[in-house]
Amino acid sequence: MRGTFIPLYTKSVLSLSFFWTAKTSTVENQLVFLLRKELDTFARRNSKLFNVFYLLETSPEDWAYGKGYCTQDLIEEKLPSASTDTKMMLCGPPGMVNAANNAMVNLRFEKPGAMPKMTDEIFLF
């Protein structure tokens, strides 16, 4: 059965930026990178709605993406400013999540409380 999809909204109010970070380009990380082609294609087709950034702490010489850590400067450069319309969702190793959370608080995002609320600007997973 074929049909036509008719969107309910002509303009999306949602945009998503995705950082994928890792220490090295290991076999396990390469398995994750199997989705890189799909993520890049989606980002290219929806550039106003979706951005993806790849970072390796230690990268091979031919690595064409970001190198180093997801720092406060990088967050400030690549992500939207703090506002009630902006939500940050962080997941990963505790050290990285804590560093990113502190960087976002320094950038004037409201520090999350012990119990998450829908009005929070930062969510930790």
- The tens-digit pLDDT sequence of the chain (125 residues) is 455 555 545 565 688 898 888 887 676 566 566 788 888 899 999 888 899 998 888 888 888 888 888 899 999 999 999 998 899 999 988 998 999 999 999 999 999 988 999 899 999 98
Whole-number pLDDT of residue 110: 95
Whole-number pLDDT of residue 1: 46
Cα(16)–Cα(88) distance, rounded to whole angstroms? 10
Q: Domain extents for the chain?
A: 15-68, 81-125
Q: Residue 17: name the closest of 97, 107, 67, 81 by CA.
A: 81
Whole-number pLDDT of residue 123: 93
